[in-house]
Structure 1
Amino acid sequence: MIKEEFSKGARSLKTDFLNTDLVIAGGGLSGTCCAITAARQGLKVVLIQDRPVLGGNASSEVRLWILGATSHMGNNNRWAREGGVIDEILVENLYRNPEGNPIILDTILLEKVTLEPNVKLLLNTAVHDLSKKNDDSIEYLRAFCSQNSTEYQVKGKFFMDATGDGILGFLAGAAFRMGAETKEEFDEAFAPDQSYGELLGHSMYFYSKDTGKPVRFVPPAFADIDITKLPRFKTFNLKEFGCRLWWVEYGGRRDTIHETEEIKWELWKVIYGIWNHIKNSGQYADSENLTLEWVGTIPGKRESRRFEGDYMLTQKDVVEQRPHFDAVSFGGWALDLHPADGVLGDKPGCTQWHSKGVYQIPYRTMYSKNIKNLFLGGRLISATHVAFGSSRVMATCGHNGQAVAMAAALCLKQNVLPADLLEKSRMSELQKRLIQSGQYIPKVNLEDELDLVQNAAVSSSTELELKGLPFDGPWHTLDFSMAQMIPVSSRVVPGMKIQVKSEVKTRLQVELRLSEKPENYTPEVMLERLRLDIEPGGNFYSFSFQQEIPEAQYVFVTFVANPDLMLKCSNTRVTGLLTVFNKFNKSVATSSRQEPPSGIGIDAFEFWVPERRPLGHNLAFVLDQSLHPFSRENVKNGIFRPTTQPNAWVASLEDPRPSLTLDWSQQQDISTVQLYFDTDFDHPMESTLMGHPEFEIPFCAKSFQIKDDSGKVIFHQKENHQTIQEVKFQAPVRTQKLTFEFEKRVESVPLSVFGIVCYS
């Protein structure tokens, strides 16, 4: 029994005092990925989240899918899924949860964090105060947990604000912005005017469920009963539930921080009004058995404060893909701005303009220029309103969070402040550590003098020679123009033989295209055009090009739309080989060609997008000269995804037990081995709602084992579905040779490996 007498003075809360290396405020994707990465680097981390689950807008509380540079496979950013921990989360979610259940995603995020002994997780805990050491650094913060009535005073060497609204940076006095810059300040022609508005609003989602029996709905008194009076009213597709109604948005003309509760009520009015219309208007016969299963209780926020770092990301960084010496991450979502009036206005729900490829994000955007020990994460990094339209999405935020974690680890090790990492050797070390952990930085390769593989001779059981792909797949009608992407490293493009079927005499136009920038996949440069006379029936046709390509890159052998024709495809899928189509994904585009208004600083170009499995077969073809893009030496090149070439060792399709061997001239003491597999970086792996027809990626090794120079098995991974597998031996293995034996997953897909690194 507890009995306490009357106290004349106010009682104090129970207070826990914590001292740690890195304090992270905010448990969305950015804070979560940062915490996991930092903990794995040996830092002690306190992760403070004001909600009962992790994930922010990706969690079961909001239920928006995680997405980033892949943009639903609707842009020209091939193999652009983010790497590292955010990739690990998405791959694991696909494996456990292909249906896209947000509750399961909650458990995965919680599991990933709680498995790290270096992370102390404080859920339902809100930061409300802090103390500063001096004008430009934080000493500790205060946070309150309503569930255990406890206040936490958390002292740290470094702090990261990933709260979205930037409560930590705000309390610390860091410089921030809220709203849109003028066109003139950063020479951003896409900057909106007042009629469009300066802020993106909040959204709320709902789920419906078929109960198998009639269900009535009596709307609450606060519902907007006549939803048809909204300026943007349109008929509702009953299948468009959850995040597909992202455009039910409001709040861009209000204070998106301090008026969030009022914004929430307005969104509830609209949501329940929509459901009343569906159930009671008489226009939806199929709605009789539907019930409203779930409605969000907190809105998904898009925009509020953005804090100033030593650099501000701008529209031109995105569109022009400007290089940065301190690149530590990348983006690729469209410049995606929403009208401030949202669902209450008459403008389209968003204005999206894509760049021709991914862009680098500099480290200078990820720390405060005023508060010396404060890192910036999530949507509040240092970016203009226009650039924020791209950098704000969750997978990009998660990728940035990993960069912050690695920077904090390096700062702690070298006893320096975040801005000190701009020194050349420190930045090189940061980039190296990031890439080694799976982070992708465009145009930056892993160069690690400690990697023992660099001094090893590499041999393999087989090596795929690209002579063509078998004619064993479906016929594909040329309703849309189609292009087979071929990695060419010499100046000469091999001739090709294909099979064409037609019921009439007609012509097939074939074009050789490539991207202006070799690292992009926008086939904007026309090198040559051929026309083949096609006879009725299914016949083989050969052609060759006279043009040479200037440097190693993917060429697009393009077949112009002709609905009278069908091309024979292949059932064989290979790492780094894709077919793309000149059409569009309505989730991110309105036509197969981006045609922006003149004068807004955006490029016009065609979209060439792949189809998702089980569709998206490669073209069947035979080359008159073999290509060799799948060399065993690729495992040493420090690039762990396709770029201008596949960058993978690929075994022969017929190889029953593919193997790689590393051979040194003398004995090595090996403590750690890391393998990089192909989990199809072109796959967006949207985390919730959409669902996916597969739970494992066909290119990824199903299992593998490692043998030493005596043939002894020193490690055996019996089940694998992840991109990266790290093997740490209890004691260093002394050997002159390592042999890796792999089991492929799908008969029609050859085994591939992007890279192997070994450390003593």
Structure 2
Amino acid sequence: MRNKIMTKTIAAQLAVVGGGPAGVTAAISAARLGVDTVLVTNRPVLGGNSSSEIRVWTRGAAGAGNLYAEEMGVWGALKLENLYKNPDANVVFWDEVLLDAVLRQEQLRLSLNTEISKLEMDGEKIEAVLGVQQSTQEMLKIQAQYFLDATGDGVLGALAGVPYEQGPDCMGSSLLYQTRREDHNVPFVPPSFAAPMEEIERILGNGGRILNEDMSGSDCWWFELGGNMDTIQDAEQIDFQLRRLVMGVWNYVKNSGKFDADNYTLEWVGNLPGKRESRRMVTEYMLKEQDVRAQRVFPDTAFYGGWYLDSHPADGAFSQEANCVQPPVPVYGVPFRCLYNSNFPNLLFAGRNIGTERGAYVSTRVMNTCALSGQAAATLIWECLKTEKAPALLSQEEIRAAQAALWREDMLLPGITPSDNDFAALCRVTASSAADGKAGKQSGTMSLREGGFVCYPGLDAPCYLEVQAERETELSAAFHTSALPHRAYYGAAISAHRWSVPAGRTVIQIPAMGGCFCTLKFVENADAAVCTAEEHRVGFLCGEKDSARYQEPRLWYDAAESQTLYATQNVCCGEHRVWNAPNLWQSAADDLHPKLTLSWEKPVGIREIRLYLDPDLLMELPSSRTAHIEASHVYAPRTGMPAHLIRSMIVTAIDEQEAPLAVWNIEENIQRLLVLQLEKPQKISKLTMSIRSTWGAATARIFRIAAYEQCLTEGLKAEMLNRERGI
């Protein structure tokens, strides 16, 4: 019989503390790179604010209007798996997708329900973290070479003595509920602690705070309090005040007589609040608001953000101010230096507790961005383990190696295209066909009554747009350029343009500039519309700033120039997603058996092949959603797997004697990044990709094909082996 708490010691190369998006992504990323990793969280489920305990949906750059900016990498792979396994985006199954991914990952161990409360340190270096696992009543002592604080509150950093910034005012926390409509009357008797109706009445209408019986899940984000308190020390009090508010709100919905809510009930109320803000650790560099707005390119860019500068008043629901202010921003880079403080050589940060000034924090805090920071931190730790150096001591060349690994693992680094020893850059590419880039037949129109935008890949060539007018009128638009288009933040203003157009359909010549995306922001005109096309070409979009539903404009270049847009050679240009150009190959619509071939004049030694496919980076992939979604979210749900994602294909590696060395028969693919490996480097003269099906589209798309002599995991293994041998 055990009469005391036992201590269990665990040793690893990396201990990740915190099981939210940042921690989960970091742990999987590190383990995939060959790092022996332990993931520790104080919750019974993974996912942090996105879990079934709290139920905030995940959003990021694409959700804030940055087109083709949906976050990929390790986090993107989890979201695509969730889309396939959980097409209704049920938050309960999202928990299981994350748990499944962690449990099946080699070199990754998991400890749930474990609260880390103590550190063992040697100077400024952490030797071990200690905490009690509530379910087993064991004291866990986790020893590691590196520690990653992904706790959100910066728990490890605070315990270690890392300076941090907090308050005095913060954004509050939110407690959500989910509703269900029954086929019978469901009475509601409020608990005695519920906020009275008079109090709820005073809240409604202030700063855009609206209420209806259909609101559910993240629609309830404005049920927010506690920003004017200490969001850590006063967390229990904030929790109770939020429950008081939530019960008062539901009582108002049910019993005020102002809503058709007789048959509605609550099927769930949050187990604990979703926290927006607490500690921000002081790191080697603190990201600034002007860095975000100016889209600053850092030499050590590690990941990206793109959510609004989204700030909420500290008084939350009781504030007279607007419930939030959301200026849009472009996609921006965040440097590695925001992930560590050089005085603490083996402690890094990921998630909302990274180093940012508050003006930038209001953008970097959202979960998709937090997840990317986890992958970046894990990759930096991998480089530190390889070189036996602390993050601050890495050379520029070693930082570039970490960036190249991130790039290879499908991270967008705004303004940077790393050199990563890709043999595909040396090959000749041929294809059975390539899309000609022409506009499709007219399918309808987009009214300019409220204005609107038209964006398109820039070429140094004449460009034309078809418009329609009810009567003779004048169109006005501003011309902008950017690396990525945006539905509300249009980039650099270049010039203003006017066109006199007759009644009916007509074609106007519009400005264009090569090496970037072009956007025309049209002035409101109730008599005019942009003609839209049937086909969907990557990069050609029209829409409105307050809508996430886009169409394709009837816009085109001369035939010779348009053929370059989706040309075969794009798969070897080094870019793996939309940035300044579409950067992909697309087969022709009448090509029933699309095929790509890479060939080398002299055979090259290849161990690993990577294919970067098209999962429709234009549309969001949230972790979960409810049946009812308020229009203010500016969200368009997916209706199935991405149509242009390749579902089945055969990849064949051929040697210099024209004999197949390896054949990969890929079926039921659901991922953007395919990684194909040989047991050892083999001399290959040709690679063929025969596409058999997509998830619904008539054409196939591939952004990039890359070929490498080594797998990423071999780098760390080789360094460790050399050390054992004394080399």
TM-score normalised by L of structure 1: 0.86
Are 2:318 and 1:344 equivalent residues in the alignment? yes
Higher mean Cα deviation, 225-234 or 720-729?
A: 225-234
Amino acid at match of 1:426: E
**Which one of the candidate residues 594, 616, 621 is aligned to 1:685?**
621
Q: How does 1:210-221 map to 2 (within 5 A)?
A: 210-221=181-192
Query: What letter is aligned with 2:546?
Result: F
Indicate how the Cα distance of structure 1 residues 161 and 432 shifts in structure 2: closer, same or farther if over 3 A, else same: same
Report the AA paired with residue 344 of structure 1.
F
Say which of 457, 462, 466 aligns to 1:493: 462
Residue matched to 1:242: 217
**Corresponding residue for residue 138 of structure 1:** 126
Q: Partner letter of residue 703 of structure 1?
A: S
Aligned to 2:322, the other structure's residue is in SS state coil
Matches within 5 A, 1:485-634: 485-490=455-460, 492-494=461-463, 496=464, 498=466, 500=468, 504-507=470-473, 509=475, 511=477, 513-515=479-481, 517-518=482-483, 521=486, 522=490, 525=493, 527=495, 529-536=497-504, 539=505, 541-545=506-510, 549=513, 551-557=514-520, 560-581=523-544, 583-584=545-546, 611-612=548-549, 616-626=550-560, 627=562, 628-634=564-570
The separation in 1 between residues aligned to 2:512 and 2:71, in whole angstroms, is 33
Cα deviation for residue 99 of structure 1 reads 2.2
Q: Is the 8 A contact 1:79 1:681 kept in 2?
A: yes
2:441 equivalent to 1:471: yes
Deviations 1:563-599 (A, max 9, x none): 3444442221122332233x325xxxxxxxxxxxxxx
Q: Is the 8 A contact 1:571 1:748 kept in 2?
A: no
Q: Quick check: 1:52 aligned with 2:50?
A: no
- What amino acid is aligned across from residue 740 of structure 1 in structure 2? M
The question of 1:695 aligning with 2:670 is answered: no
- Aligned match of 1:109: 98
Distance 2:257 2:315 in 1: 29
Q: Is the 8 A contact 1:481 1:559 kept in 2?
A: yes
Higher helix share: 2
Assess, with a 3 A threshold, how the Cα gap between structure 1 residues 746 and 63 changes in structure 2: closer, same or farther. closer
The CA distance in 1 between the partners of 2:380 and 2:638, in whole Å, is: 38
Correspondence list, 1:65-84, <5 A: 65-70=57-62, 72=63, 74-75=64-65, 77-84=66-73
Corresponding residue to 2:400 among 428, 431, 450? 428
Report the residue type matching 1:506 in the other structure: E
Pairing 1:460–2:431 present: yes
- AA aligned to 2:164 is F
1:724 and 2:676 matched: no
Match of 2:419 in 1: 447
Query: Which of 679, 704, 727 does residue 649 from structure 2 map onto?
Result: 704
* Aligned counterparts of 1:111 and 1:231: Cα–Cα separation in 2: 46
The one-letter amino acid of 1:304's match is S
User: Is the CA contact (8 Å cut-off) linking 2:174 and 2:223 kept in structure 1?
Assistant: yes
| 8 Å Cα contact 1:568/1:619 also seen in 2 | yes
| Structure 2 alignment gaps of length 5 or more | 628-636, 710-727
User: Cα gap change, 1:359/1:566 in structure 2, threshold over 3 Å: closer, same or farther?
Assistant: closer
CA RMSD in angstroms, aligned pairs only: 2.2
**Residues 69-218 of structure 1: pairs in structure 2 closer than 5 A:** 69-70=61-62, 72=63, 74-75=64-65, 77-133=66-122, 135-179=123-167, 198-218=169-189
Match of 1:376 among 341, 349, 358: 349
Aligned-partner Cα distance in 1 for 2:683–2:668: 26
Specify whether residues 139 and 558 from structure 1 end up closer, same or farther in structure 2 by C-alpha distance, changes over 3 A only.
closer
User: Deviations 1:433-487 (Å, cap 9, x if unpaired)?
Assistant: 00000111101113122x2212211111112222x22215234333333443222
Q: CA deviation at 1:527?
A: 3.3
Cα 1:688–1:470 change in 2 (3 A) is: same
The Cα shift of 1:731 comes to: 5.3
* Paired AA for residue 196 in structure 2: I
Contact conserved, 2:126 with 2:346, CA < 8 A, in 1?
Answer: yes
Deviations 1:704-742 (A, max 9, x none): 111233475701111122110111234555431111111
Whole-angstrom distance in 1 between the partners of 2:239 and 2:611: 46
User: How far is the alpha carbon of 1:82 from its aligned partner?
Assistant: 1.8
Percent of residue pairs identical: 30
Contact 2:577 2:583 in 1 (8 A): yes
| Counterpart position of 1:263 | 238
**Alignment deviations for residues 119-171 of structure 1 (CA, whole Å, 9 cap, x no partner):** 110001110111102x2110001111111111100000000111111211111
Tell me, yes or no, if the aligned pair for 1:256 and 1:303 is still in contact at 8 Å: yes
Instruction: Determine helix, strand or coil for the equivalent of 1:240.
Output: coil
In the superposition, the TM-score normalised over structure 2's length comes to: 0.90
State the alpha-carbon separation in 2 of the partners of residues 407 and 55 from structure 1.
22
Distance 1:407 1:747, change over 3 A: closer
Who is 1:595 aligned against? Answer: none
Q: Hey, what's the Cα distance between the residues in 2 that align with 1:35 and 1:160?
A: 9
Distance 1:43 1:518, change over 3 A: closer
Structure 1 693/365 Cα, relative in aligned 2: closer, same or farther at 3 Å?
Answer: closer
Counterparts of 1:37 and 1:725 in 2: how far apart (Å)?
A: 15
Q: Counterpart of 2:271 in 1: which secondary structure?
A: coil
Distance 1:749 1:580 in 2: 24
Q: Which amino acid aligns with 1:544?
A: Q
Q: From 9, 13, 25, give the equivalent of 2:5.
A: 13
Query: Aligned partner of 2:378: which letter?
Result: A
- Cross-structure match for 2:577: 641
Q: Secondary structure at the match of 1:706?
A: strand
Distance 1:506 1:437, change over 3 A: same
Instruction: Note if contact 2:8-2:139 (Cα within 8 Å) is conserved in structure 1.
Output: yes
Distance (whole Å) between structure 1 residues aligned to residue 597 and residue 681 of structure 2: 18
The code of the aligned residue for 1:328 comes to A
C-alpha change, 1:299 and 1:699, in structure 2 (3 Å) is: same
The answer to whether structure 1 residue 360 and structure 2 residue 341 are counterparts is no
Structure 1 gaps, min length 5: 5-10, 181-197, 586-610
Please state whether the residue corresponding to 2:401 is helix, strand or coil: helix
Amino acid at match of 2:103: T
Shift, 1:398, TM fit: 0.4
Report 1:665-680 matches (<5 A). Answer: 665-680=601-616
Checking the alignment, whether the CA contact within 8 Å between 1:312 and 1:383 is kept in structure 2 is yes
Match of 2:203, SS? coil
- Aligned twin of 1:737: 686
Per the alignment, in what secondary structure is the counterpart of residue 310 of structure 2? strand
> Structure 2 CA distance, aligned partners of 1:747 and 1:168?
47
Aligned counterparts of 1:520 and 1:486: Cα–Cα separation in 2 = 8
Shift in alpha-carbon separation, 1:725–1:528, aligned structure 2, 3 A: same
Deviation at 1:488, TM superposition (A): 2.4
* SS of the residue 1:433 aligns to: helix
Change in CA separation of 1:617 and 1:354 when aligned onto 2, cut-off 3 Å? closer
Distance in 1 (alpha carbons) for counterparts of 2:143 and 2:32: 20
* Partner of residue 34, structure 2: 42
1:623: Cα distance to partner? 3.8
Q: Distance in 1 between matches of 2:647 and 2:450?
A: 35
Q: Which moved more, 1:116-125 or 1:80-89?
A: 80-89
How far residue 631 of structure 1 moved from its aligned partner, in angstroms, is 2.1
How many Å apart are 1:21 and its aligned residue? 0.3
Aligned counterparts of 2:696 and 2:270: Cα–Cα separation in 1: 44
Q: Does the C-alpha gap of structure 1 residues 259 and 523 become closer, same or farther in structure 2, counting only changes over 3 Å?
A: closer
Q: Deviation at 1:744?
A: 4.7
Q: How does 1:653-668 map to 2 (within 5 A)?
A: 653-668=589-604
